[in-house]
Structure 1
Amino acid sequence: MPLKDASRLFKTASLPRWALLLGLSTLLVVGLELLGLPASLLIGPMVSAIVLVVSVGQGSLRVPRWPLLFGQALVGFMMARSITVDILQTMATDAPLFLSMIFAVIIMAGLLGWALTRWQVLPGTTAVWGSSPGAASAMVIMSEAYGADARLVAFMQYLRVVFVAIAASVVSRLWVAADGGEPPAIIMFPPIDWPALAATITLTCLSAFAAVRFRIPGGTIIVPLVAGSLLQGFGLLKIELPMWLLAISYALIGWSIGLRFTRGIIRHAARALPRVAGSILLLMSLCGCMAYALHIFAGVDPLTAYLATSPGGADSVAIIAASSDVDVPFVMAMQTGRFLIILFTGPMLARFIARHSGLAENPA
């Protein structure tokens, strides 16, 4: 069938497009697994969705809201599973270290956003919101209320997520190879504690509902993370997350990110792409320097330090860290702490840069 005919078919029927997306995702996941790259279950679906959008268009494909929220909440519980009372005590002891690293990343990202704004690479405060190093979904939603172009904010945020996820996976794989080890094998169907699984799924649904009901920014990560950590810490919950269930949530998250790269957004951002990509790479490089400093002065192992300071989404880094030989609680503490601080400082930072760049915001 000619390419134009195939494209016309997928534009008029969503089922073949979902089948194509699922098939391409499966092939990429298998290929990435054969290469030994961590987070293949996230990156495969994400890249597949981007390829589909660029090649034949998005059409009516969109990940349903509630399954996506459920998948995000599952990742929140996966993060909570790594946080114990002892780890929290360690985090409290090292609070100055965590806060200094978190604010350093936020300040560097803010300076890059200010530079892009001053150079008028993107309209208004779009670059400020787009440069925020985390809380991607919340930044996209909040930016629109402050007059920024939500499409371009989404472009910058999710382009950075793609860059960071791929870079972190490659670095993780190279580090493991240099250590002479192998990445942990994926056991898709392990033995299951069914009562614990039922409790975990029930709480996941309740967490997703509570996040939406009470309109908590980033709540699908925050609510299960806090609830799961507390319940696990008090011995009231065993968080049971078999890999097949996590694989579903990873695919939903990956597809959701990839399908946001519509042709319209790509065309709209084409002229700014080199400078936007350059700013992302610069931020990643600066964070890499911070990771090196964290290793030298705080004694944190290099891969843990790299993932902890990596300016990507907490869910992406959580998936990569979970499949690598690193200090997962340390990584999650740094990522989650930055995520929470960004939620509260993002609007203030955007307003501050707007005032000092001679821009006027237009709150909705």
Structure 2
Amino acid sequence: MGDRGRELLDLAAVVAAAVVASVGFAALGLPSPALFGGLLAGLVRALGFRGRATVPRAAASAGQATIGVAMGSLVDLETLRAVGANWLPVLLVTVGTLALSLGAGLVLRLQRGISPVTGAFAMIAGGASGIVAMARDLGADARMVAVLQYLRVLLIVVLMPVVATVGFGAQSGAAAAVADDVPGWPAGVLFTVGCAVGGLVVGRLVRLPVASLLGPLVAAAVVDLTGLGGGAEVPGLLGSAAFLVIGLQVGVSFTRESLRTIGRALPLALGVILALVAASAGLGAVLSATTGVSALDGYLATTPGGLYAVLATASDIGADVTFVLAVQVLRLFVMLLSAPLVARWLRGPAEG
């Protein structure tokens, strides 16, 4: 067997291990199980075996594009109307969250071995999968970013139901039944491929930063808002495959030294993350006071991460899902679209 054959066999074995790990994580109820599965399998391959494994560039670009389409498809007219009714306080709270994230990143830089861009990206609240997918392209340490972003998501997923029930007196099982009228697999595949390819081509033509992710994200949002997509979404299997690819790409880049650096950063990072979660809850109280929504809705709308877990909790306890989704999606767009500008600003003084 030639070198090329061994490389393909090696990659196939890592992918198979990632799939098995993803299924296990899904059974445990972890958020983004495919990304975690890919990350774990890639890490084991990088640290446990000789030689270097790489994810083909085309596969990485396809993974970024699919994630971009999935995020862009969250935008719809109902979401925009919910934001429009209270646009000023929602915008101010979103900008406040970005400022808190940058402040948390500055504190994280106190840890040796963390660059300004890595610190900021590791603490950006919202759009964790998108931030991880674009981290390397924008000069951040994707390994550190991935670990700390999903440490925050895990903490939020664990704490949020407790805070909602104990702190706000929410009760489970208050959601109304929602009809499932999402178009099927063929329409979803066509929507995903069309937005991914079209967004990628246009994004590169206009020199959009991280065109593989942001181009498809904008394309999917436009298609959704114009009604051309007919409500189509990225099929679950395609989305999982994209997360798995991004997880693998980050995982195979781990080294023992990078793992030690992350380990040293964890105590400080955990304290910073908890402070960020508490400060975001304070912004939720401000949002509630200025818009008239309930304190619980304000808390859920400003929770810094775990979008799908937040929406599931909001639906289960009978919160205003449309308002929560609107604020969360607006923040996601602001964070992802501003990330290239933030990276350029933070790199400027260091590289100038």
TM-score normalised per structure 1: 0.70
Q: 2:341 aligns with which of 341, 344, 348?
A: 344
Cα distance, 1:80 vs structure 2: 2.9
Q: Which structure 2 residues correspond to residues 98-117 of structure 1 after superposition, within 5 A?
A: 98-117=90-109
Q: 2:256 aligns with which of 263, 283, 302?
A: 263
Q: What is the aligned partner in structure 2 of residue 42 from structure 1?
A: 35
Distance, in Å, in 1 between the alignment partners of 2:204 and 2:310 is 27
Q: What is the aligned partner in structure 2 of residue 4 from structure 1?
A: none
| 1:251 maps to 2:241 | no
| 1:167 maps to 2:158 | no
| 1:158 maps to 2:142 | no
Q: Deviations over 1:181-236 (max 9, x none)?
A: 99x9xx9xx98363563353133223234334543224333322322222232222
Distance, in Å, in 1 between the alignment partners of 2:333 and 2:107 is 26
Q: Which structure 2 residues correspond to residues 257-296 of structure 1 after superposition, within 5 A?
A: 257-268=250-261, 270-291=263-284, 294=287
| AA in 1 matched with 2:150 | V
Unmatched runs of 5 consecutive residues or more in structure 2: 126-130, 316-320
Cα distance, 1:85 vs structure 2: 2.0
Distance, in Å, in 1 between the alignment partners of 2:60 and 2:308 is 16
Q: Which structure 2 residues correspond to residues 324-335 of structure 1 after superposition, within 5 A?
A: 325=315, 326=321, 327-335=324-332
| 1:22 maps to 2:34 | no
Cα distance, 1:323 vs structure 2: 6.3
Whether contact under 8 Å (1:63, 1:255) holds in the other structure is yes
Whether contact under 8 Å (1:81, 1:232) holds in the other structure is yes
Q: What is the aligned partner in structure 2 of residue 9 from structure 1?
A: none
Cα distance, 1:278 vs structure 2: 3.7
Q: Deviations over 1:235-258 (max 9, x none)?
A: 222334322222212211222333
% identical equivalent positions: 20
Q: What is the aligned partner in structure 2 of residue 73 from structure 1?
A: 65
Q: What is the aligned partner in structure 1 of residue 128 from structure 2?
A: none
| AA in 2 matched with 1:228 | A
Q: What is the aligned partner in structure 2 of residue 121 from structure 1?
A: 112
Distance 1:345 1:105, change over 3 A: same
Q: 1:133 aligns with which of 108, 124, 137?
A: 124
Unmatched runs of 5 consecutive residues or more in structure 1: 1-11, 144-149, 355-360
Q: 2:221 aligns with which of 224, 229, 240?
A: 229
TM-score normalised per structure 2: 0.72
**Higher mean displacement: 43-52 or 236-245:** 43-52
Whether contact under 8 Å (1:36, 1:173) holds in the other structure is no
Distance, in Å, in 2 between the alignment partners of 1:29 and 1:105 is 31
Distance 1:69 1:165, change over 3 A: farther
| AA in 2 matched with 1:335 | L
| AA in 2 matched with 1:158 | A
| 1:194 maps to 2:183 | no
Distance 1:329 1:192, change over 3 A: same
- What count of residue pairs does the alignment treat as equivalent? 324
| 1:64 maps to 2:61 | no
Cα distance, 1:113 vs structure 2: 3.5
Whether contact under 8 Å (2:79, 2:326) holds in the other structure is yes
Q: What is the aligned partner in structure 2 of residue 179 from structure 1?
A: 172
- Give the superposed CA RMSD: 4.0
Distance, in Å, in 2 between the alignment partners of 1:39 and 1:61 is 23
Q: Deviations over 1:300-337 (max 9, x none)?
A: 67588447542x5xxxx456567664544432222112
Distance 1:237 1:256, change over 3 A: same
Q: What is the aligned partner in structure 2 of residue 92 from structure 1?
A: 84
Distance, in Å, in 1 between the alignment partners of 2:56 and 2:297 is 35
SS at structure 1 position matched to 2:75: coil
Cα distance, 1:158 vs structure 2: 2.0
